[in-house]
Amino acid sequence: MGPLVGAIDEGTSSARFILFKAGTAEVVASHQQELSQIHPQEGWVEQDPMEIIRIVENCIENTIDKLISKGGSVNDIVSVGITNQRESTVLWDRITGEPLYNSIVWLDVRTSSTVDCLLDKVPNKTRNKNYLKPLCGLPLSPYFSAVKIKWLQENIPKIKKAMAAGTCMFGTIDSWLIWNLTGGKNGGIHVTDVTNASRTMLMNIDTLKWDPVLINFFDIPSNILPVIKSSSEIYGSICKGSLKGVKLAGCLGDQQSALVGQQCLSRGQAKATYGTGCFLLYNTGNYKVNSSHGLVTTVAYKLGRNKPTMYALEGSVAIAGAAMNWLRDNLTILSSFGEAKEIAEKADSVQKGDVYFVPAFSGLYAPYWQQEARGVIVGISEDTESCHIVKATLEAVCFQTRDILEAMNNDYGSPLSVLQVDGGMTANPLLMQMQADLAGITVIKPTMAESTALGAAMVAGAAVGHWDLEKSRLDIPAVKWTPKYTENQRDIRYSKWKMAVERAMGWDMSV
């Protein structure tokens, strides 16, 4: 069967383990399992870190069983990489190995009041959300990990006590997984990679080190932080289960992993991932672009200790696939995601009027960064039916992506002609055609759906000499959608979208 590389893909809604034939996009075996979410209050989103590690280990064992049933051997696995939901924050005790609280998930908004207090610390009373951006590339927002750590420090006595005792450890999900897989309380390795560290608001975007100014601003003890490594190197060995002895050798935040998996390894290439949220990354090479149009500057990847650091501009949309969940679970106008295409297509035959939906359930991310925004549906008439709401929900994803593309054009000055896409929502061809039409861009989707996991496998394989990232380009078949709207049609629809966004602004002034 030849050498194999594994990828742990730990997302917001599910985890999976996938084995790729080294140097190729060929999936040999895989297993996926859903993760549960906990919602203690409105806007709060948590997950059980112990469930996460259990499900990841279960996915690994099930995949190995499938591999063996196909005549393969665990001895063929040369390394494993990890890709993970970013910003989600876990604090645990180094002595007991137990989480000190649930993981606070990236889209949780409980920290809005924490952000408000932190803005009071900005010099000269300016309350400038971008005050720390020159150091870390990020605006002050409930989204990022440091703000979540601060909330936990202030609200969970057990965590404050562990910090004082020096037994508290912090990690994004990658760190939690690596620590557990390499031994946990019995010698686990406490590391993260540059891409995940760049989402914490604590790493200096230039030096790639934890920054004392940032640590001091948030007043967080530096001894809780993991060691920052490159995205492609051997961190340690897995110490239990079927993969015992296999090298953990790659780590990328999920959006950066999709960028690598989509082979956007040259300056000027971009990809959009449509999942729970939607994330668009634009590779700016080793040149760090400071956005003045609401985007964030992030580390794209660093493919080895002595390799150059590559940067990206990123635009994040909080609610994409999550809006479809809302239609299914709250409004019950969808019974499954597969119905969305058929239902949305009915809208054009029923009524000509336009309905616009801004799904700002927990504020708006890039390029607006308005935590006070809330969802609105506008353009409703007595003829409006559920099909118009479904169509407007799909279009909202496309309009938000165009918002980010416009900001990237303004920041980088070089408009994209092609957008690479991946993620669960890309299974809907109507959505992809809408994206091409409403953004005026050619959309290309690889037929191999596991771009995020592939990126993690690529960097893990490269670290042990089984994947040449610089010379070999994978030939992956793709599907293409080209714009059918005229520029005028596109711009009229987009101007109405912007009007709808204006109506969503400043709604929840209590945050």
In this prediction, residue 421 carries a pLDDT of 93
Confidence bin at 472 (pLDDT 50/70/90): low
Number of other CB atoms surrounding residue 183 within 10 Å: 17
Confidence bin at 292 (pLDDT 50/70/90): confident
In this prediction, residue 455 carries a pLDDT of 95
Work out the angle between the directed axes of helices 49-69 and 173-181 (0-180°, nearest 10).
60
In this prediction, residue 473 carries a pLDDT of 80
Quick one: which H or E segment has residue 53? helix 49-69
Residue 98, pLDDT > 80, answer yes
Give DSSP secondary structure letters for 79-113. EEEEEE-SS-EEEEETTT--BSSPEEPTT--TTHH
pLDDT-wise least confident of 332-336, 391-395, 491-495:
332-336
Residue 440, pLDDT > 60, answer yes
Alpha helices in 70-193 (DSSP H): 112-119, 133-136, 145-155, 157-165, 173-181
**Average pLDDT for residues 413-436, to the nearest whole number?**
88
Backbone φ, ψ for residue 166 (5° rounding): 80, 20
Any bridge partners for residue 192, and if so which?
A: 228
Residue 317, pLDDT > 80, answer yes
In this prediction, residue 334 carries a pLDDT of 83
- The Cα–Cα gap between 416 and 291 comes to 17
Sign of CA dihedral 40, 46, 49, 52: positive
More confident residue, 38 or 414: 38
Number of other CB atoms surrounding residue 266 within 10 Å: 9
* % of the chain beyond a pLDDT of 90: 69
Regarding beta strands 89-93 and 168-172, do their DSSP bridges make them parallel or antiparallel, or are they unpaired?
antiparallel
228's tokens: 């920052």
* Cβ neighbourhood burial of 160 (10 Å; 0-12, 13-18, 19+): middle
Regarding beta strands 270-274 and 418-422, do their DSSP bridges make them parallel or antiparallel, or are they unpaired?
parallel
Location of structure tokens 């790493």: 203
Could you tell me what percentage of the chain is helix, strand and coil, using 3-state DSSP and rounding each to the nearest 5?
Answer: 35, 25, 40
Confidence bin at 382 (pLDDT 50/70/90): confident
In this prediction, residue 481 carries a pLDDT of 96
- The Cα–Cα gap between 457 and 30 comes to 13
Residue 168, pLDDT > 70, answer yes
Confidence bin at 244 (pLDDT 50/70/90): very high
At 320-364, the pLDDT tens digits run: 888 888 999 898 888 888 888 888 888 877 656 689 999 998 788
Confidence bin at 367 (pLDDT 50/70/90): confident
- The Cα–Cα gap between 421 and 439 comes to 13
At 189-202, the pLDDT tens digits run: 999 999 999 999 99
**Average pLDDT for residues 87-100, to the nearest whole number?**
96
In this prediction, residue 353 carries a pLDDT of 66
Helix (H, G, I), strand (E, B) or coil at 288: coil
In this prediction, residue 86 carries a pLDDT of 92
**Average pLDDT for residues 450-455, to the nearest whole number?**
92
Residue 401, pLDDT > 90, answer yes
Report whether 200 contacts 115 (CB < 8 A).
Answer: no
